[in-house]
Structure 1
Amino acid sequence: CWLRDASMSIDTLLFMKQRTAAERFIGFVKKILKSSRDEPIQIMYGIRGEQTLTEETLDHLSGYENSRPVRIGNAAYHQVQNDSIGYLMDVIYKYYLYFPGTLDEVEEIWEIIKNMVRSVKAAWHKPDRSIWEFRTREMHFVFSKVMSWVAFDRASLIAELLHKESYARKWRDEAESIRTEVYEKGWNEELQCFTQAYGNRDYDSSLLLMQFYDFIAPDDERYVKTVKAIKENLYHEGLMYRYKAEDDFGVPTSSFTICTFWLIEALFMIGEREEAREIFEKMISYSNHVGLYSEDLDFRTKRQLGNFPQAYSHLALINTAVLFSEEKELSKFIRP
């Protein structure tokens, strides 16, 4: 269970008021984080709470269409990805905002929240592997800083709800210091946009999410310029690259499906709604015969590649589809 992927999925389900799945996930989180209270919070755990997920290569298997190597486990489990806790803190905040808990439940989650904040405080100013889990590269990734801000911001909101004003004030100040640093070091004056990492010139689709998590207003000139720069440089044949910089596997050659949905939402939020709708309608046509998506799409043929079906792709599809609904309060009409 990737904490990031699971939290993003539950966030979408929470918007649709699907309480049962969210409740089970929060229970899972409580269990694993209580049992490992004195240990660093990992980016992923086994579905039974396992902490060691050793990666192995199965050389006797050829893989789908000879796509070796075939692996089990995941070597990324011990990576430092400083964005991870932000998604979880965001979904915990929303869960208890929608479904208030008992005093005992709240006290239990409060201890976990304090531990999560300690982890973020110790790590946010350090380089990491980012949302894209680079295996051989650590940098000060801008989006990791953004999600560290989210962790402190949502923790402060939770503290306010619980009338713990000293914590709320302290965590708000920490969040603001992160935002100030991102504005200073993440912005490239020459390119006129936020870039993938401090001091570099690479474009990164994850930065389209800055407004989604309320780090920056969608009408802020810096965000508008960033969206346009990312589209100009990463949009190709109706689809989006995650980034074009060389990674552990070379220069990316396929589109990462969720990134095109991120672009659609970003364009919608900055007022380019007709263009957003056009791209969305094209994306709908790229699904398979039962409306599902894989992790990647081939730019030229639109063939589905990678993990299938991919949770990322479908949560983004739902989030984007809601934007174009005539009734923006769709969730009011759906029974939990």
Structure 2
Amino acid sequence: MKNLDYGVIGNCRTAALVSKEGSIDWLCLPDFDSPSVFTRLLDEEKGGSFAFLVSGEYVVTQTYLGNTNILSTRFEAPEGAFTVLDYMPRYRTSEKSHYLPPEVHRYLRVLYGKPKMRILYDPKMNYAGEEAVHTVFPNYIRTSSAVDAEDKIYLYSSVNFDVILSGEEFTLTDHQFFLLSYNQKLVAIDENRVLLDYERTKVYWLNWINRSREYRQYGDMVNRSMLVLKLMSYQHSGAMLAAVTTSLPESIGETRNWDYRFCWLRDASMSIDTLLHMKHQGTAERFIGFIKRILKSREDTFQIMYGIRGERELTEEILSHLAGYENSYPVRIGNAAYNQLQNDSLGYLMDVIYKYYLYFPGTLDEVEEIWEVVRNMVRMVLKSWRSPDQSIWEFRTRELNFVFSKVMSWVALDRASLIAELLHKDNYAELWRKEANGIKEEIHEKGWNEELQCFTQAYENTDHDSSLLLMQFYDFIDARDERYVKTVKAIKENLFHNGLMYRYKAEDDFGKPTSSFTICTFWLIEALFVIGETDQAREIFESMITYSNHVGLYSEDLDFETKRQLGNFPQAYSHLAFINTATLLSEEKKLSRFIRP
């Protein structure tokens, strides 16, 4: 059974997936959302990769180098052993500037003996839609597209270029390096330069994680998830990616294949909330800057998602030449969900903005700018909250009065009222509090099903929905409230299967869901914990730990039977939920993280 046994490397500009055998099977250059140059992840025959091929009795193991985003793949056999250190350079050049070029460094260290290998350097340009043409220069190999000669990458290496391109076997007698860059380098590239970037990058990540909160339990796993979230923060805008891949299927052979290389307000706001809690205010502050930039005027409306530079049109296309991950067709780029109505989205964002005002409100002009954003958001919520929407789950052909969308609309107005109080805008605070109370009253009246004794997915149905487990997390209802406790138990009884959670069971646009949405199981763990079912919560959590891959990474989904990872990878949603749950169980902290003045 194939699994997503990949490590991820990145530098807050782009990222690559490296298989547990050391093959780069996914890399987009120069940015996260650029066309891929290695696409084997989505087509094993056509996609292309960058690998070190060994024969014989080699044992291959892979780990991260401590608390960094540097990946170490060790090849060991009686004849010799070597380690591949993969990373993307990232380090500070001044207090406010970073060096984060669109490039991958691969450093080979000989450990003992005389290991033999072949190099497979097989880039395929533009999502493997265009053949690559290699041209050898004295200092590098330039690879360009056969269709567009200006689309090119550069490989610098200490290994003979003919050996690289021919794929012939050679003996590794000394340390070697490979530097694959989107740009031609303006400085001399040699081993010393590569090692300098390596040490600077290692120090950067160690310093970054050192600023995080520390936990006695699950500390190493929390740190790994923190490093993944940071890696997926786009430095140039502050946007947070949902994942670094496209079209990894939620279920093998089905068509639930989406491009996640974008910034959802929901996912990003949840990630920023977690980073704030873990004492990383800088990343959160950059995201607030992203929000300010996408609202260029008071009349601008919010979308549920944006491109990583703030793009509003994310036209969806199918790449018909690619077979898909394990032949799960189609492969998509772009995402048509960008124009959906999802009334929950602004609630998460307003929650983050409230924390912005509490923790680092900035200068007076910045505070005033964000206040305009808040008022604009409130206008949108007041206009839309009564309308049916497509929910947190992004149904493409269904609009209902989803209860959780109403809850998050309440969150938006509740936090807006608190922000107004902080700014001594009492008239706004009173008006918005009145509207928030009206939403809450309606939810308790129409969202609660007296016969089932629980809150249901929508006013119009009696379905169960995992998103309702979050009602207490956002302070809509007390964790000890009888209605919440009954809802948690009903959701668990109906959606918990083989140790994992369904999002919902009812048929959607593509039939009945057949895989577990990873974050939902973490939501259940937290919900059980706060209602007092602590032993159940810990038991499920300990099982979830074993479902991460070999380097501690989570995808979007898990197979109910085999527990294999499915869906886009690594998934920010899954990792932020792991952090929240791990810290809850580690600290046994108060029932809500929400802070009121």
Shared fold (TM-score greater than 0.5)?
Answer: yes
Change (3 A) 1:90 1:67: same
Amino acid corresponding to residue 497 of structure 2 in structure 1: H
CA distance, structure 1, for counterparts of residue 329 and residue 455 of structure 2: 36
Which of 412, 432, 437 is the matching residue for 1:171?
A: 432
Root-mean-square deviation (CA, aligned residues, Å) is: 1.0
1:179-218 matches, cutoff 5 A: 179-218=440-479
- Secondary structure of the residue aligned to 1:325 is helix
Q: How many residues align?
A: 328
CA distance, structure 1, for counterparts of residue 548 and residue 456 of structure 2: 30
Deviations 1:51-93 (A, max 9, x none): 1111111111111111111111110000000000000000010
Q: Is the 8 A contact 1:196 1:203 kept in 2?
A: yes
1:97-176 matches, cutoff 5 A: 97-176=358-437
Q: Is the 8 A contact 1:245 1:251 kept in 2?
A: yes
Structure 2 unaligned segments of length 5 or more: list them: 1-262, 591-597
Which structure: larger Rg? Answer: 2
2:549 aligned residue = 288
Deviations 1:150-201 (A, max 9, x none): 0000000000000000000000001000000000000011110000000311
Q: Is the 8 A contact 1:185 1:199 kept in 2?
A: no
Normalized per residue, which structure has more helix? 1
CA distance, structure 2, for counterparts of residue 312 and residue 84 of structure 1: 14
CA distance, structure 2, for counterparts of residue 101 and residue 141 of structure 1: 36
Q: Is the 8 A contact 1:267 1:275 kept in 2?
A: yes
Deviations 1:2-57 (A, max 9, x none): 11110010000010110111011000001102x15323211111111111111111
CA distance, structure 2, for counterparts of residue 208 and residue 321 of structure 1: 17
CA distance, structure 2, for counterparts of residue 20 and residue 115 of structure 1: 25
Which of 567, 577, 584 is the matching residue for 1:323?
A: 584
Amino acid corresponding to residue 95 of structure 1 in structure 2: Y
1:2 aligned residue = 264
1:178-327 matches, cutoff 5 A: 178-326=439-587
Relative to the length of structure 1, the TM-score reads: 0.96
CA distance, structure 2, for counterparts of residue 123 and residue 3 of structure 1: 17
Which of 255, 258, 273 is the matching residue for 1:11?
A: 273
Q: CA deviation at 1:326?
A: 3.9
Amino acid corresponding to residue 441 of structure 2 in structure 1: T
Please tell me whether residue 94 in structure 1 is matched to residue 363 in structure 2: no
Q: Is the 8 A contact 2:553 2:570 kept in 1?
A: yes
Q: Is the 8 A contact 1:202 1:245 kept in 2?
A: yes
Amino acid corresponding to residue 399 of structure 2 in structure 1: E
- Return structure 1 stretches of 4+ with deviation > 2 angstroms: 326-329
1:26 aligned residue = 288
CA distance, structure 2, for counterparts of residue 157 and residue 327 of structure 1: 27
Structure 1 unaligned segments of length 5 or more: list them: 330-336
CA distance, structure 1, for counterparts of residue 537 and residue 513 of structure 2: 24
CA distance, structure 2, for counterparts of residue 328 and residue 259 of structure 1: 21
CA distance, structure 2, for counterparts of residue 326 and residue 104 of structure 1: 38
